[in-house]
A and B are shown apart, each in its own frame.
Chain A
Amino acid sequence: MNVSSLTPPELGSLLKQAGIFLQTGSFITHLQTSIPSVAEGIGLLYADYPLAEQGGFADFHVSLAPPRDLRRWFKPQVLFLSDGDAPFKPLPLDQAFPMLEWGLNWCVSSHANRYLIIHAAVVEKGGHAAILPAPPGSGKSTLCAALVHRGWRLLSDELTLVRIGDGKIIPLPRPVSLKNQSIDIIRRYEPDAIISRKVSDTITGTVAHMKPPTDSVTRAAETAQAAWVIFPKYQAGEAARLEVLPQSRAFMRVADNAFNYSLLGTKGFETMANLIDASRCYDFTYSVLDEAIETFDALKPPAPSM
């Protein structure tokens, strides 16, 4: 049973009472909330996601609720609660859905230490994964959103999960976070993309989330092999350009973008080193999405190691 099999009133009512058990990739989140904008966002962006057994096991127990203080009467806010604790300060109520997305990222990045977790988008084609680590403002999510509408499968927009042991990339397809100008860029680039309403004045500016393609959600159990590590950088007016990056330099930069590399110790080093060994590494500059897609489509996977 998927989220879309519930009518909006049924979904709202279930979220308000027992909560839903939402399966995203290999994680199950038990989510409770009575906030209408969150129910609306779940109905819109998570329509294709399976619902796990009601009352069964969940990796994360999450709720969004107004804080119990006087502000709720004149300037309503929202708190993200994980296992009853609030890891973040409250935000304006209007930011409830983005806060859920950020909170779910936090749940995974702070708890899922069976994986090496890299702050990077990751997309797949033909079983080969392209990992895109990049700081905010580099155009990573815009590029990722465009790629997944042009034949690449979304494995994740924010968190690349590398399984310790075999180095496989574990999909965690969730809505793609778009910020500021990239919202309208993707609306124009892919008019059929389903994008949530804009939320302004967040800590990262105006944000909206894009629904992942259905195929990416239904194939969430299919792992992929790392083939490329590509550091994208949007630069107005520049032609698409790939520049080879020495693997040792790529190692250091990916390690800087990993949440738990240090925590994992030697296992983190070995997992990262194997990932880099298996990948061709590049810096990538682009300004036109179609040129970027063309460049990605022409990527050759590394020869399999003997």
Chain B
Amino acid sequence: MMWRLISDHAFCFRSWNDEFVVYNSLSGDTHLLGLAAAQILLELQQAPSDAITLATSLAPLLQAEIGEEFSLQIEHLLADLDKLALIEHS
């Protein structure tokens, strides 16, 4: 399943240490995100993607082993970001 950002230009990011504050100008909401969730948004800002591709590209950055467990974590994060109306199916 492919995912994309709800809009290419809706978000402002600011990071401190391993946490990101993300402002969604479409909803006016501000979100506090961990490193993995924020990196998913940054990846999707480049191009739509799916959970497996995202897991492969994010694993080195997040120092995770590529595998079923990590892909599942990415899927959960994608579901959370979808609930926050930050991403949608492509």
> Is there a chain B Cβ closer than 8 Å to A2's Cβ?
no
User: Would you list which residues of chain B between 1 and 46 have a CB under 8 Å from chain A?
Assistant: 12, 14-17, 19-21, 23, 25, 28, 30, 32
Residue A266 contacts which of B17, B21, B25, B32 (CB distance < 8 angstroms)? B25
Least CB separation from A252: chain B residue: B32
> Is there a chain B Cβ closer than 8 Å to A246's Cβ?
yes
Q: How far does the Cβ of A150 sit from chain B's closest Cβ, in whole Å?
A: 31
Residue B12 contacts which of A247, A248, A270 (CB distance < 8 angstroms)? A270
- Given contacts A246-B19, A248-B21, A251-B14, is CB(A269)–CB(B30) below 8 Å? yes
Residue A251 contacts which of B17, B21, B25, B28 (CB distance < 8 angstroms)? B21
- Asked if A248 and B25 make an inter-chain contact with CB atoms under 8 angstroms apart, the answer reads no
Q: Which residues of A are found within 8 Å of B23, using beta-carbon distances?
A: 266, 269
User: Would you list which residues of chain A between 234 and 276 have a CB under 8 Å from chain B?
Assistant: 246-249, 251-252, 255, 261-262, 265-266, 269-270, 273, 276
Q: Which residues of B are found within 8 Å of A265, using beta-carbon distances?
A: 25, 28
Least CB separation from A274: chain B residue: B14
Once bound together, how far apart are the Cα atoms of A265 and B32, in whole Å?
Answer: 17
- Asked if A252 and B12 make an inter-chain contact with CB atoms under 8 angstroms apart, the answer reads no
Q: Which residues of B are found within 8 Å of A255, using beta-carbon distances?
A: 30
- Asked if B12 and A266 make an inter-chain contact with CB atoms under 8 angstroms apart, the answer reads yes
- Given contacts A266-B25, A269-B12, is CB(A248)–CB(B20) below 8 Å? yes
Residue A273 contacts which of B14, B17, B25 (CB distance < 8 angstroms)? B14
Once bound together, how far apart are the Cα atoms of A219 and B68, in whole Å?
Answer: 63
Least CB separation from B28: chain A residue: A262
User: Would you list which residues of chain A between 263 and 299 have a CB under 8 Å from chain B?
Assistant: 265-266, 269-270, 273, 276-277
14 cross-chain CB contacts under 8 A: A246-B19, A248-B15, A248-B19, A248-B21, A249-B32, A251-B14, A251-B16, A251-B21, A252-B32, A262-B28, A266-B25, A269-B14, A273-B14, A276-B16
Q: Which residues of A contact B (CB under 8 A)?
A: 246-249, 251-252, 255, 261-262, 265-266, 269-270, 273, 276-277
**Per-position 1/0 for B38-59, Cβ under 8 A of A:** 0000000000000000000000
Main SS of chain A's interface residues?
Answer: helix
Q: Which residues of B contact A (CB under 8 A)?
A: 12, 14-17, 19-21, 23, 25, 28, 30, 32
Once bound together, how far apart are the Cα atoms of A247 and B21, in whole Å?
Answer: 10
Q: How far does the Cβ of A174 sit from chain B's closest Cβ, in whole Å?
A: 29
Least CB separation from B13: chain A residue: A273
- Given contacts A266-B12, A273-B21, A276-B16, is CB(A248)–CB(B32) below 8 Å? yes
Once bound together, how far apart are the Cα atoms of A277 and B14, in whole Å?
Answer: 9
Once bound together, how far apart are the Cα atoms of A269 and B30, in whole Å?
Answer: 8
Q: Which residues of B are found within 8 Å of A246, using beta-carbon distances?
A: 16-17, 19
Q: How far does the Cβ of B31 sit from chain A's closest Cβ, in whole Å?
A: 9
Once bound together, how far apart are the Cα atoms of A39 and B15, in whole Å?
Answer: 50
Q: How far does the Cβ of A248 sit from chain B's closest Cβ, in whole Å?
A: 4
Once bound together, how far apart are the Cα atoms of A198 and B7, in whole Å?
Answer: 55
Once bound together, how far apart are the Cα atoms of A251 and B20, in whole Å?
Answer: 10
Least CB separation from B25: chain A residue: A266
With a 10 A CB-CB cut-off, give which of A255, A269, A270 has the most chain B CB atoms. A269
Once bound together, how far apart are the Cα atoms of A273 and B21, in whole Å?
Answer: 9
Q: Which residues of A are found within 8 Å of B17, using beta-carbon distances?
A: 246-248
Once bound together, how far apart are the Cα atoms of A251 and B32, in whole Å?
Answer: 9
Once bound together, how far apart are the Cα atoms of A273 and B30, in whole Å?
Answer: 12
Q: Which residues of B are found within 8 Å of A261, using beta-carbon distances?
A: 30
Q: Which residues of A are found within 8 Å of B19, using beta-carbon distances?
A: 246, 248-249
Once bound together, how far apart are the Cα atoms of A270 and B21, in whole Å?
Answer: 11
Q: How far does the Cβ of B21 sit from chain A's closest Cβ, in whole Å?
A: 5
Q: How far does the Cβ of B3 sit from chain A's closest Cβ, in whole Å?
A: 24
